[in-house]
Structure 1
Amino acid sequence: MSTWFGVLGPLEIRDGDAPVPITRPRQRSLVAVLLAEPNRVVSVDEVINRIWGDDPPATARPQVHAMVSAVRRALPDGERVLRTQTSGYQLEVTAATLDMLAFDEAVAAGQPREALRLWRGEPFSGVDGESLATPRRVLTERYLAVVEQLADAELEGGAQRMVAAELRALVERYPLREGLRRRLMIALYRDGRAGEALETYRAGQRALAEEHGLDPSPALHELAARIEVRDPSLARAVPRQLPLTPAAFTGRAAELAQLDELRHAGARVIGLAGTGGVGKTALATHWAHRIAAEFGDGQLYVDLRGYDPDAPRHPADAMASLLRALGVPAPDVPSDDGDRAALYQSTVDGRNLLLLLDNARDAEHVRPLLPGAASCLTVVTSRHSLDVFDYVVTLDTLAADDALALLAALIGERVRGEPDAAARLADRCARLPLALRIAAERAAERADVPLADLVEELADERTVLHALDTGDDPHTAVAAVFSWSYRQLDAEPARAFRLLGLHRGPHLDAAAAAALLDVDPATAADLLDRLRRVHLLETVGAQRFAMHDLLRVFAAELAATAEKEQVRTAARTRLDDHYQAGAAAAMDALYPAERGKRPTASGRLPSPSSARRWLDVELPNLMTVGDTHVIGLCATVWRHLETIGRYDEATVLCGRSAEVAVRRGDRAAHAFARTAGGQVCWRQGRFDAAREHLQTAAALYRELRDHAGRAWVLLNLGVVDERARRYGLAAAHLREAAALYTELGDDGGLADALGNLGVVHEQTGDYDQAVRLQKRAFALHLDGDNPAGQANALGNVGIVHHRTGRHEPAVSCLRQALALFESISDRAGEAEALAYLGASLHALGETAAAGEHLERAMAIARDLDSARVQANALNGLGELAAAAGDPRHALAAHTAALRLAESVGDTEQRIRAEAGIGSAELGIDDSPQ
């Protein structure tokens, strides 16, 4: 086996899986200098200059000769790869033996994800000397260019959440690189987080000023300005989510022709049916890429995971994902299944979309996701022919010639050299693409073994996967190939494969694998890569891995027979502990003021940006934790899910937590889950459901004599009743909550109760008391380092000042509130602060600034579908138009405001709109005809 060199991170030299013992710093520097110029002859003088710089010792030349000899002896194939030439030394490497060349090869092949997977950190790190500064800089530039290229493709494909998660840490690491910052801003904006996008711009502005005394480029400044006014042309994402077609796709000419014929005949729902491992997804993605250009509004992809033994994807969850990809912000995805389906159908209506629904279990799994629009084409893969298909293409195993062609594409000349053995190998694999790929990888790893011998090994394999052993030959064959490949593994990767079958989520990284396997992260990363190389794992993102569903069943069954129950339980517990601890650390970084109200992390906390990224990426895995952890996880992350508008996940987590708590007789956990679930419900405007949850929780907390819990319930009931305009009940609930929080010494809870009580007084016209209460709440939130609470209190004080004609203090309070709302990405608070700020600026005669703020409020309110804030902003714009002598525009603005105010029962804005309409009509009557 050839020596492998890695320079895209710490310098690594390996012989197979074993490190090569070159540890002396100057010898490692020599290797690095030669690898920086792969396959080029580097002169002795150049080596000396790069290792010692301008002041080499007199013995430098003999030292170089001695180092070369030592390195050559340490390398297992040193005489072959480290050559002495007339003018110097040369390290001969290929893409298979140097990661830098493999990176370039993957980029050239149009596989940026595969290229980025090779990146381990700063190039050549751990090697002494400044001589590698230029190669480091050049490699880093190539890496970042590929990151930006991939981000562009993924943004075009509607994957803005994933792009935002992946770019955050890079923007922190390379703060002056505007290409990364620009893409992160766009991703955040398209994910409904305009405040975060603008804060990302401001952070870059500060970094440039501090580092170089410069301003951002005009292009970045223009992008920030467009985000600030919510330019709709930035928001429309054209999703392009199709997965890559597997390498060496072969055959299926008849099926492709049939699909083309169905497309031209006007088919709207085409099914691809066939046994597991037969290549349905590969054919579907290959054909989808061929016709993608016909669908100008984009291509969508969802893996329904219909045959996953633990977590098939619910259609409602899949629909929410599709809506987000089509540009609907997460908080605007309806909770009611009927409303969600209606929004989905109206969103796809009129769009020319290609939709690939992969791994559907049955008709009901896929039926809700089928677009009604005739302009859409849906391709569904399933192991069965479903009654929702207009037409079905049934896949059999590959034809004999196609199976041999696939083997030839994967292992080359050996197929032509041993045609009979190759044909028998294909037959032993039942000509199933999945089995053929695994067998081919095994053959490639054992290049010195004749194919005929490998075929005999496979023929002798009698272990058959019980879950697939139905007497059907293809199933038996694929199980035999799995078992044959598995039995060739060394002990550690074999154990890793078994235990990875216990992972319930859709994908994992090395940190999660380390917890599951009880090894260190570096060992876990190596084991994952070894399993990937033999096709027992596949890469699904940067340093993330997944298993084919058949392989996962196989691995889980192996674990059930080869590992004791306590070993399996311990592995799952370590994994769930990992997710629980990661979630706690992320939440402590993002919401430090609430640390005392949830399980708290131990150890070093991540930065807020990396915490958000971790939660975004790991959310599907967090949702799969077992019953022993779901109560703790609910208490940890429900607040974040509620804050970012992932109401589906919050509802599911609270519901699961409540069910587990009831089974265990844990009344405290049941009460907590019900209270959190009630808060999620009122955020969605589901006040009756919220009240039901909260009343159940209140009864439980009374039984438990838990005053803190009762106070939290009362606080939420007060908000529900205030929103429903039941001000007497709201005030009673909130006063009782405040009294309990005072007894408990909980200043944060007391601040929340006082602030909401101040809103009730504001709504009933008691402005002096409203201001007193909000100022007390602000002081408590300031002591507790709670920016969200500070923003709400300041904003409410500013609104009261505005209503009582004290516009200068109103402007001061509202500007402070606006800055805080932007810093925490609270778009609803941002919009309301802007609307009242615009009105107060108008009252002070600052009409240009007033108009700008009101337009921004309108843009955000439209994004959030907030009729109340839109009505407020429209009334402000109408008043500006009237003051400018334009009664017709004033009439249009106030009429629109009236319609919106009536739709939500907003009496204040309705009265304001009616007054504006009357004045505008008088102005039109008096104007010259």
Structure 2
Amino acid sequence: MRAEYRVLGPLEVLLDGEPVAVPAGRGRVLLATLLLRANRFVSVDELVERVWEGQPPDLDRAHKTLQTVVMRLRQALGEANCVRTELGGYLAEVAPEQLDLARFRRLVEEQEFEGALALWRGPVLGNVASESLHRDEVPLLMEEQLAALEKRIEADLTTGRSAELVPELQDLTRRHPLRDRFWAHLMLALYRSGQQAGALAAYRQVSEMLAEELGIDPAPALRELHEQILRGEVTSPKEKTPMPRQLPPELTTFVGREGDVERLGASAARVLVITGTGGVGKTSLAVHWAHRIASRFGDGQIFVNLRGQDPVRAMSPQEALTLVLKGLGVDSVPVGLDEQVALYRTLVADRKLLLVLDNAANAEQVRPLLPAAAGVLAIVTSRSDLRGLALHDAELLRLPTLSDDGGTRLLERVLGEGRVRAEADAAAALVRLCGGLPLALRIAAADLGAQELMTIADKVAQLDDDRLGELAVPGDPAVAVSVVFDESYSSLPEDARLVLRRLGVLPGADFTANDAAVIAGLPNARRHLNQLVGVHLVEQRGTRFALHDLLRVYARERCTREETDEAMGRLYDFYRRMTDDAAELLFPDQRRFPLSTTTTQLPGVVLQTPEEAFAWMTAEYENLLSAVVVATERGEYWPANEIGAVLTAYCYETRDDSRWSALCEIRDRAAHESGEDVLIANADLSYAIYRFSQGDFARAKELTTVALGLAVGMGDLRVQASAHRVLGGVYRSAGDVKTALHHQHQALAIDEQRGETEGQALVLLAIAAMSFNMPDLLGAEQSLLRVLELSNSPGVRGHAHASLNGVYTELGRFPDVLAHQAAYVALQAELGHPRQLTIGTIAAVRAKLGLRQVDEAFDLMIDVLDEVRLRSGFEEELDAWHALADLFDDCDAHEDALAAVRLQFKIVDSEKMTEYRITAHWSAARAYRKLGDYENAAHHLSEVRARLDSDHLLYAGSELKERALLHLALGETEEALRCAEEAVATHRRYHQRHLEGQSLQALAEVLRATGDADGAADAELLAANAYRDCGVSVS
């Protein structure tokens, strides 16, 4: 997604062209201040000074409020957020092309004054309420605008446009009477348009105005110009020599290249290379862009088709230079290349010339034509990437295929909006079948245009039957997608053709160099892959590669059945070995199938750390899943399940529900098609875990029971233990704790019998979770510490540390929270699990709040919001909004706390998770009470109490404390006292020491209201002791 920021007018933020609402007031002042100093550090003190107009109510409080402003701004901007935290301040991190002010300054530097001034949209920062910005910053920007305007007019005066400029200059001198250059330009324009008297009158006008208002004479330059006009000695602009205008006509149906056009416009290079696969629209873009900028090149525009894809008629550099020189008016062209180059460079040395070199074969063909003069721009198109032109500071634009939207818009331009929108679904399918390739889309549209009775759906059906055969123009064999591909394919060495053919059978959307080497079975496969990239038969995307959909069809059609079988067998062997290595590092407790023997020579790729393994799994997931699907379709069930088992463990760890669900269904189908009990048992158990995670306990129980029966029949103790663990979780979630503990102890006994410490650790995690909710916090702690003694699995240990964070937060042992949070974060970083880091950061936020280190909690919360926005599941998001509500409450920002609670309710309304509904209702009750809305506070507290069953007694004390404070606010002191005393007793019974301190504080408030000052003092003393026990500094 592309963000754009505008300050040359009202403050605006756009995301993919759509406006983003920027919070009014302080949020806009903050963003404007940062954008005016884009990519430069601005201190907190300076921002406070700007936001509060030099009068902050209290500096410490202002710092905290500024953090709230930053958080609100970041939330509002979403994907367009550019605000980055630095030590002691902030900065707006934006690319130069994203900020209109940066683009304005670059265009002025390049003397593109028309484009620069077009960026100004109205009153600068007109929607930003800041006296200091309008006093200190806006005048400086207006000065830059006027200076650019002066330079633009000065340039226009040299082109003979004097008469056209007079009305504009008369207006400018009225609005800016003290700017001498506008008066000088007006006098010059009047004189050159034959109005010498008017020029002299303008001088008298400015002289009289300066004398009356300032008591001074005009500047020396203005007086000198006046003398020249009196003597008739003002020079006229030089006449330009007519030059060629050779650009071919622009396509009226050109569409869908806005981003590429913008990039061309942002480039400062004098050599632009547009490269891409055949039929992608390189020439169309080059011609379109050339027409847009032709006015900048008053000395001419030259177009040469170099015929680079014609092996017989490709133009030589001498032929091309001859055409260029004749276009420049040279009648007698030298024969030798060196002489031609010398003459060419001499002719263009001081000229503004645009040169379009279309369809270049290689760098050698183009190099002699490249300009040495600063005023010449060369646009080169080629299927090759012309890497050799890097020595000439060429900028490369790799032209992609059209997006779905761009392809649809192209069809609308050619066929008409009505026809396309009447068959919107079919049109979308046509774009997909053509792979967004403009040539293919134009051929299909031409066929539809010639046959009015043919529907778009009819064309889609034809393409489904014969994709490449139907993408040809009848009667014109040269106009066909396959012909374009043939030109490139036939020019390749035989081994490179083999690599291309086998790439066509790869099941994934993209691939790595290792994948290519595996399926090719050639020692030099990577060199051939680079050849394919160089001629744009393969697209390189960072370290990955891809084939266009139509090229994939073309390559697959040229691959024999024997070649396909060999390539897929080699790929399965590679993927099985790699996933097994990854599982050994990431999921050592995960059951894996013994690897089949293979004679395939595989690349020496070694995963050495869990971080490398996780990164590889993340990058290759879609391809691995595609391999599982293809293996199932081919009846190769063991490779499908071997690879699929590791993918399932990955989905479980990352909690990617959509991927997890799809994978489980594929594995289950493959296992049942195979008819093998071992595959069915593992697939059913895996599916059961997914259904359990989604709250479908009945289906999870059914699948697990089947898996357990099969495991008993096979004598497979590992699957038996896993099934008991899952059943324990199912019964626990259904409220049958007794049966749940039975199954967990069954699993524990089996794992102890097998000496399986990792299995024992998993059981203890489950038992700890039950203990936590009973709540038996000390029992949960002991189980989790035992897990850390037993397990070497980073994933299991990470789970234990995260669970201990929750236990110690409830116990009020905040230094222990931070210690386990650090251990948890270290493990997740080692594993390369960025999403899981959010859990650790939220734990740290809560610990810092408990320790009353609010500034540090704010800084961490900003990181949490960034993480949640980028990558988190609903549980992490709910935890984040709950922590944010607590943070706002601590800062007395109760309306903001309610906003965070509403974000919680948006999720829990759909997920129906009791624990999160309790915390959301409790936070809402607290905020409404502090805002004086006691009716709503009471409603939310009743919602909390209704959910306090035996599984959620952990929250009973906090509910009582909040109820006590509500009764106190309503003047019901007797009931308030009862609830406060029960809250203290409940928190004490469950060892929730920090919460006990909060309940004691509430009790002190109630006692003071009843007139029991001594009792209140005693309660406050006990509260202070409780806080000290938790590591909180109490004054």
Higher relative contact order (CA 8 A, sep 6+): 1
Bigger-Rg structure (1/2): 2
TM-score grouping bracket, smaller chain normalisation? 0.3 to 0.5
TM-score, with structure 2 as normaliser: 0.42
TM-score, with structure 1 as normaliser: 0.46
